[in-house]
Amino acid sequence: MYLVLLYSLIILFVLTALALAIAIPLDTYRSFFTLELPRLLIQRYQVRLIVFDPEEEAIIIWQK
């Protein structure tokens, strides 16, 4: 049991030390990531979003 708790603590420490980011196209952001469940998951797990327009080759949103 001790090892399971220790492992969980280490995983939690490592995950909080890392910043997760996901790059998604603008149309995917508009059609999926504006829905309530994805927004809640992104907020809960502190996922950084980089939204880009592939046609314009430009970053639209850079969420920190």
Convert the pLDDT of each residue in 8-57 to its tens digit: 777 777 666 666 788 999 999 999 999 999 999 888 888 889 999 999 99
pLDDT at 1: 65
pLDDT at 17: 62
Residue with tokens 């502190």: 46
pLDDT at 59: 95
For the chain, domain boundaries: 19-64
Cα diameter, the chain: 53
The secondary structure element, H or E, covering residue 48 is strand 48-53
